[in-house]
Structure 1
Amino acid sequence: MNAFKKLSLSFQFIVLLIGLACIAAVASYLVGSSVYVSETRNQARTVADMVDNFGQWASRYRGIWVKDDPRDPKLEVGSFLERELSTASGANDSTTAPNAAAFHRKNPALVQRELSDITIASPAKAKFRMTSDRYMNPNNAPSEFDKVAMNAIRESGASEYSEVRGGQLLYARRLVADKGCMRCHGSPAAAPAAVTALYPGPQGYGYEEGKLAGVISVAIPLEFSLADFVQRFDSQVWLALAAMGLGVAGLLVFIRQQVIVPVRRVREFALAAANAEPGAQVEKVDFIEGEHVSRNEIHELNTAVKAMHTSIDYLYRRLNKR
């Protein structure tokens, strides 16, 4: 520390500014990272809103009916709760009409799950899934995060839970069991035959209306880095940084011209006075007129040094007169 104090003031000041700049850069990066995580959390909320709204839309029609096409073997209806045969003319006749087709009913939860399957298989960064600790389909089993989220939501009564884990923003939005859920998840006896045929229970049943049934679980990768942070700088940020740079440069010039250079001049005067012959005239340093009443510390120092030189010179002259 003493070695640093012995360095020139200009060098010390530059080192101090560099240190402050590094601290400001790290602080800015941390703030930017926090803002990025917050923005990503808002994206997860938007995804959950979309899934929730999609489910409400399907609930408005008590589910979605999907019609198959016997002429298109590639068309896969997938899972469904009910199946109703129909002819092209609209008459229900599954035995005589050669062009008989079938309508398959998918409940809102099934529609949301299929949307989740499509999203997971897509190149989209944001992925979501519907999960519960009372799941029917093993593919919908909750992850470790989902279990933590559901426990936290139950205990706190909050509507959401999120955390950063494994380089991802993990977000969970609660799902509350309503009457539509109770039809399939209330009890095996009351569930549709298509459901009990696949999932006889007891897993997946026992929902309570108005209570937590599961969560919409969203995962979004966090890709924030120093390069990404810099790439987010727009023209206004660069102008602000340039203005800060000019301000620092101006501060350095001010310190040099108003502190360092005057101190050096006072030092040179003091050394000249110390090395001069007794009684010899030494050119004094005057920064401004009326320096003795100035509040500037450099001026006060210069006034004190000159007063000391004058006192020593006066004493020397008095001694010579004796």
Structure 2
Amino acid sequence: MKLVNYKLKYDFAPNRIGMMLHNNVVDLEQAFKQMIENDDSQESVCPPPHDPETFYAQAPSSIKTAEKVYTYIQNHQPQTQYKREDVILETPVPNPSKIICTGINYADHIKEMGSEPPEFPVLFSKFTNALIGPEDDIHKINATKKLDYEVELAVVIGKKASNVKKEDVYDYIAGYTIANDTSARDLQKRTVQWLQGKSLDHTTPIGPWLVTKDELTDPANLKIQSSVNGEVRQSSNTKHLIFDIPFLISFISELITLNPGDIILTGTADGVGLAMDPPQFLQDGDIVKVEIEEIGFMENKITDR
């Protein structure tokens, strides 16, 4: 199941939770009402929240309801659905309480950056001001001349997680999506802390949807790729993660309590612009495409601001 945070074009109504069905968007609340009206056995199911923030805050129960609705609409024509071109997709989780990122987590990326393999995961944070939708422009401000791209698998937490054992981690995951952890290398490198180069306004697209864990069952073996203006720059596989998803979530949850809707970025592969000879940084008008097998892709334009 692919869950989306969407709004209709030319409509000022608040964003809503939907599901992708054959490249169309089906509104979750409307489909739930249809299911209840036509299937008496589902009358005891609690209605799901229609707004995305509440939906993820109420996970995992809200996701379980969505799964029932999705099963229903696969076998029954939805009364209301919207063509993909008639909607705007926003970042799947609109206001996570935490965005925790992982640095230098692919061996080849460590090598190209001239770093040493870490003993423990290198963690840093982003703030929600950086998040944008899968169709939005990435803003390049005057403060940076070295804006870089980083395709990453993002994990969305599905229920409160604290001191989780590695073997239990997948019980706490809602699903997976794609992130482009764009990085202002000149700002990132001017101090020992990376935050100022990693959390600029309107720079981190997430999306295009969240693929629930029942559909994406092997996140440890996914092709991951980025390109700039059609030229492939990064091409790897999540099997090359140094600290895999079970280790990461377990490690983080020993330090920080994770809440439903929190986003964990797992790190990027080799091929970033900084490591090219000569370095190649993003410029106004560039089109960056990031894609991950079994999830999809995003294309975002770089715009000077």
Structure showing the higher strand proportion among its residues: 2
Considering Cα pairs closer than 8 Å and 6+ residues apart, tell me whether 1 or 2 has the greater RCO.
Answer: 2
TM-score calculated relative to the size of structure 1: 0.21
Max radius of gyration: which structure?
Answer: 1
Structure showing the higher helix proportion among its residues: 1
TM-score calculated relative to the size of structure 2: 0.22
